[in-house]
A and B are shown apart, each in its own frame.
Chain A
Amino acid sequence: MALQPAAGARDLNPRQVEGNRRIRQTLAGVYRLWGYQEVDPPSIETLDTLAAGGGIAPEELVRLVSDDPLGLRPELTASIARAACTRMADHPLPLRLWADGNIFRCLQGDAGRLRIHQQIQSGVELLGEPSLSADVELIRLLLAATGSLGLQPEHKPTLLMGHHGLLQALLEPLPAGLGEPARAALTSFDRLSLQALEPQLGNSGELLSLLELRGRPQQVLAQLQNRLGDMPLLQDLGRVIDLVTPAAQGLGVELQLDPTFQPHFNLYDGLVLKLVCQGADVPIAIASGGRYDALVGRFSTPASLMTLPAAGVGFGFDVEHVRELVCSTRDGQQTVLVARGPATPLEVALERLESLHSQGIPAELLGEATPDRSAAEAVASQRGCGDLIWLGP
């Protein structure tokens, strides 16, 4: 019987691991520059924490068989928010934290079979800062991190920005009972369901026009102002956009304000973000995040050790998606192969190997002696080594 990894679990080869490691280190370097400290939240949490106050559907959680209701984390935010509320009572606010690691989601395949999907996520959380400055810092940090990844112009990075409050304000005038179906149809881009709702609203075409409302932030803001009037939320959003636009332009990231966009996990209750790049064939979402004040409020109860102001923002990069975009198959540091002829003792080869290592040059040993240089060259080429050091005649 062939021994395969469990369906959905990842079995990465050294080159993929190396690619992931470099992306994780690059991102971590940027997070540290911005004053973020690393935390290591547990992979296992109680289902109550993982469900993030109903933001994540129970069927997407990988449950563990145990006496307590436990599961594997489907994202990092809820675990970090929980840890911040219960374990970081003595830290000055705001908390700037970053983490990376594996996350697990449950998908229901055809014929009802459950599959586990494993991903590597790297992201930050900024907790305890309710002001607009946290939203701006989050986006600027997301842009700075994106700038460090080595994306090319053909990747056409686009940052989709939405806001929970904005969607709420747009849906408020709807009659009772229509708000929820309209929200579901707008966020899933379900034009047919919106058409079905239109007769109840006098066929004004209002809902269908909302589905087409997106684009350059200033233009969309102007249209929103026409619809909603001069509300403070629009002013704040305009200010955030003014403060992030120069950085986005400098990095070639297109900003798109999309009032009906909501991310897959319903953790967020303010600003929401998704960074999408053009892959070889399809658009690839490489990061997402937003503001999740209510989630922090949920963990920060009087029963917890500290009462954190109910404010939190964060984002997470999907490391493997980034690797698919930026790492070609030839990437990875090549080693030098140290090989010897039959007359050269193993000790000499080992000494040479370690002298290369002491100079910081990655080198590997060909244990068995080869009859001549050409045989060693063949091995070096087969192993993908960049160079050969031949110890022999």
Chain B
Amino acid sequence: MLTIALAKGALLKDSVRCFAAAGIDFSALLDKGNRQLMVPSPCGRARALLVRNGDVPVYVSYGQAQLGVVGYDVLQEHQLPVAQLLDLGFGGCRMSVAVKASSPYRRAADLPAHCRIASKFTRCAERFFDGLDLPVELIHLTGSVELGPITGMSEAIVDLVATGRTLAENGLVAIEDLFHSTARLVGNPLALRLDQGDMQQLVKELAAAAQPIEVA
């Protein structure tokens, strides 16, 4: 039986829909009353592990889950040895640098050297500013990152932006994108090499199911 790690939160509904299109029913995960963290599909072909976003690549890299669905942003931040198999197309957002709307800075490269940048994604931020050759002081936060510039703790933030509404309501504006992120199907490289065909078959079915979503 294949074990698939699915991320709680925004990606879950689309992940369940994607697997349903490939004939695997994980809809029990969407029941409001569900408290189970490991749910087998009724067909007996696979079981789902319900884990936090950042833990999906961890379960997959250790091999406890052969496959997983997680955002590209998480893969970029954690850099674990997992194989990227498919772009599932949903969960689109941007990793962006944002500053106060009243700030004079309009490009990341305009930010002053050694300024403070608050982020949940400090590794992505570090790589980005290293690439710009701009030394910055990174402040790791675990949420409500928008408060960084509002309170004056940081000049800018690096955060995920889906619609831009949260930024706008907090008086911030995105000035540059690091990358565009969508949900990815990832796999354990060793399990993929030892696969007797089950995983490859499922990847093919998911690829076929993901195509219409990309077009839409």
State whether the Cβ of B45 lies closer than 8 Å to any Cβ in chain A. no
CA distance A186 to B184 in the complex (A): 18
Instruction: Assess the B85–A192 pair: CB atoms within 8 A.
Output: yes
Instruction: Assess the B85–A283 pair: CB atoms within 8 A.
Output: no
Instruction: Assess the B194–A283 pair: CB atoms within 8 A.
Output: yes
CA distance A110 to B192 in the complex (A): 26
CA distance A285 to B194 in the complex (A): 11
Instruction: Assess the B64–A191 pair: CB atoms within 8 A.
Output: no
State whether the Cβ of A189 lies closer than 8 Å to any Cβ in chain B. yes
Instruction: Assess the A189–B64 pair: CB atoms within 8 A.
Output: no
Of B76-84, B94-102, B152-160, the stretch lying at the interface with chain A is B76-84
Q: What's the A-B contact tally at a CB cutoff of 8 Å?
A: 46
CA distance A66 to B78 in the complex (A): 32
State whether the Cβ of B140 lies closer than 8 Å to any Cβ in chain A. yes
State whether the Cβ of A190 lies closer than 8 Å to any Cβ in chain B. yes
Apart from A112-B123, A189-B192, A282-B62, list 20 A-B contacts with CB within 8 A: A110-B78, A111-B140, A158-B194, A160-B193, A160-B194, A188-B81, A189-B83, A189-B193, A190-B83, A190-B84, A191-B83, A192-B86, A192-B87, A212-B200, A214-B193, A256-B194, A261-B193, A276-B190, A281-B64, A282-B191
State whether the Cβ of A125 lies closer than 8 Å to any Cβ in chain B. no
Nearest-CB residue, chain B, relative to A192 = B84
Nearest-CB residue, chain A, relative to B63 = A282
- Among residues 127 to 142 in chain B, which have CB atoms less than 8 Å away from a CB atom of chain A? 140
Instruction: Assess the A188–B63 pair: CB atoms within 8 A.
Output: no
Number of interface residues of A (CB under 8 A): 21
Which residues from B are CB-within-8-Å of A212?
200
State whether the Cβ of A193 lies closer than 8 Å to any Cβ in chain B. yes
- Among residues 160 to 216 in chain B, which have CB atoms less than 8 Å away from a CB atom of chain A? 184, 187, 189-194, 200, 203
Nearest-CB residue, chain B, relative to A214 = B193
- Among residues 253 to 290 in chain A, which have CB atoms less than 8 Å away from a CB atom of chain B? 256, 258, 261, 276, 281-283, 285
Instruction: Assess the B189–A258 pair: CB atoms within 8 A.
Output: no
Which residues from B are CB-within-8-Å of A189?
83, 187, 189, 192-193
A139 to chain B, nearest CB (A): 18
Which residues from A are CB-within-8-Å of B187?
189
Q: List 24 A-B contacts (CB under 8 A).
A: A110-B78, A112-B123, A158-B194, A160-B193, A188-B81, A188-B83, A189-B187, A189-B189, A190-B84, A191-B85, A191-B203, A192-B84, A192-B85, A192-B86, A192-B87, A193-B84, A256-B193, A258-B193, A281-B63, A281-B64, A282-B62, A282-B191, A283-B191, A283-B194
Partner of A285, one of B190, B192, B200: B190
Which residues from B are CB-within-8-Å of A285?
190
Do A188 and B193 form a contact, CB below 8 Å, given A110-B78, A281-B64, A283-B63? no
Which residues from B are CB-within-8-Å of A158?
194
CA distance A192 to B185 in the complex (A): 10
B32 to chain A, nearest CB (A): 30
CA distance A282 to B63 in the complex (A): 6
Which residues from A are CB-within-8-Å of B193?
160, 189, 214, 256, 258, 261
Which 4 residue pairs across A and B have the least CB separation, nearest first? A282-B63, A189-B83, A192-B84, A189-B189
Which residues from B are CB-within-8-Å of A214?
193
CA distance A110 to B84 in the complex (A): 20
Which residues from A are CB-within-8-Å of B200?
212
CA distance A111 to B140 in the complex (A): 9
A107-132 vs B, CB cutoff 8 Å, 1 = contact: the mask equals 00011100000000000000000000
